[in-house]
Amino acid sequence: MKTFLHSLALLALTALTPLTAHAGGKVVVGYQTDALPSSVAIANGDFVKTTGYEIDFRRFNSGADIFTAIASGDVQIGYVGSSPFAAAVSRGLDVKAFHLATLSGTDEALVVRNGAGIDKPADLKGKRLAAAPVSTDHYQLLAVLKQEKLTERDAQVFAIPQPDIVAAWNRGDLDAAFVWDPALTELKKNGTVLLTSRQVAERGAPTFTAWVATAGFAKDNAAFLKSFAGVIEKYSASYRGEPAAWGADSQNAKTLASLLGGTPADQAAALKNLSLVPAKEQASAAWLGGGEAGGVARILKETAEFLKEQKKVSTVLPSYGGFISAEYVKDLP
């Protein structure tokens, strides 16, 4: 079993490995199974066409896995959540968040098995729980336990990859799990959402997802990152302004299903759970443009402090403002 601590230990061992910034218009990008409008641009080649770079898109099960690949030099850009982001940079990895993708929404949720006797968060005591290691879901699951004055010893908490969570759920080995799609759709077939990520954020544990690049790559490839962020915004704007183009019978939904799995209807439904952040809002002082005082840096520091309290990391940095930049989104419409 791949545990939370094992993932962080691996990250610590690889964090000192020199990072490789690929010159000559080539880059490796790590993405996940989240249903994002911009994932269509991975499948149809729009990222490559618009940026002019040769892009090797690689799919990962979690942000922790992406950061391990970044630390080893295999990946230069990745789509990650705030918890593995906080853990990685606290351990010495130098990356820049150049695009704030989503805020805590309903695309991640704590699902409880029907008949498990869990009607409220306090009922998690003594139950078998799971989340992907070093993920925002794991962070929020532990935060929910803390909010209920429960410790990991008051429940069985398994830090395992999402495919393993689905398998364990289908065997009946779990009572509840904090997951994102496609696992979220699968677990809801015989489970009920107890809390969404947005609700956990409102209870005091906010999260986000972002696109990050190694500091070296960001320094040498600013024009590419601006173009890459522009493609993301193009598809996000289409989703916000042309809902009919993203319905269950749309070509976009079919493309997402082909790339990420599930059905077009599953992907169309998953998109509705997102809390996308428009570029102008991202660039504001409230988020990427606020430096140390901005929302992204504050969430990173608060997350790191929580992870240290939970003995998941050993260091909290004085500031996390150096790991974010509004430079790449500030001029986008």
For residues 138 and 172, membership in a common domain is answered with yes
Residue 333 covered by a domain: no
Q: How far is CA 292 from CA 3, 148, 321, 331, in A?
A: 31, 30, 4, 21
Q: How far is CA 51 from CA 117, 221, 328, in A?
A: 51, 11, 14
For residues 112 and 99, membership in a common domain is answered with no
Per-residue model confidence (pLDDT) at position 111: 98
What total of structural domains would you count in the chain? 2
In contact, 250 and 53? CB cutoff 8 Å: no
For residues 219 and 288, membership in a common domain is answered with yes
For residues 283 and 136, membership in a common domain is answered with no
All residue ranges of the chain with pLDDT < 70 are 1-24
Residue 174 covered by a domain: yes
For residues 100 and 212, membership in a common domain is answered with yes
Q: How far is CA 15 from CA 134, 214, 217, in A?
A: 15, 12, 16
Q: How far is CA 141 from CA 12, 42, 83, 202, 295, in A?
A: 23, 31, 12, 14, 21
For residues 131 and 214, membership in a common domain is answered with no
Residue 304 covered by a domain: yes
For residues 223 and 242, membership in a common domain is answered with yes
Query: Over the stretch 274-307, which tens digit does the pLDDT of each residue have?
Result: 999 999 999 999 999 999 999 999 999 999 999 9
State whether residue 61 is helix, strand or coil.
coil
Per-residue model confidence (pLDDT) at position 15: 37
In contact, 182 and 261? CB cutoff 8 Å: yes
Tell me, what CATH number does 177's domain have? Answer: 3.40.190.10
In contact, 184 and 64? CB cutoff 8 Å: no
For residues 220 and 152, membership in a common domain is answered with no
Q: Answer with the one of 180, 202, 224 that is the final residue of a domain.
A: 202
Residue 332 covered by a domain: no
Q: Answer with the one of 202, 227, 251 that is the final residue of a domain.
A: 202
- Cite the DSSP H helix spans in the chain: 4-14, 39-43, 46-51, 63-72, 82-90, 136-147, 162-171, 183-187, 197-202, 215-220, 222-241, 251-260, 264-271, 279-282, 295-309
Residue 328 covered by a domain: no
Q: Answer with the one of 202, 223, 250 that is the final residue of a domain.
A: 202
Per-residue model confidence (pLDDT) at position 7: 42
For residues 114 and 212, membership in a common domain is answered with no
Domain span at 64: 4-104+207-323
Per-residue model confidence (pLDDT) at position 73: 97
The predicted model scores a pTM of 0.89
Query: Over the stretch 129-142, which tens digit does the pLDDT of each residue have?
Result: 999 998 999 999 99
For residues 311 and 214, membership in a common domain is answered with yes
Per-residue model confidence (pLDDT) at position 25: 85
For residues 163 and 212, membership in a common domain is answered with no
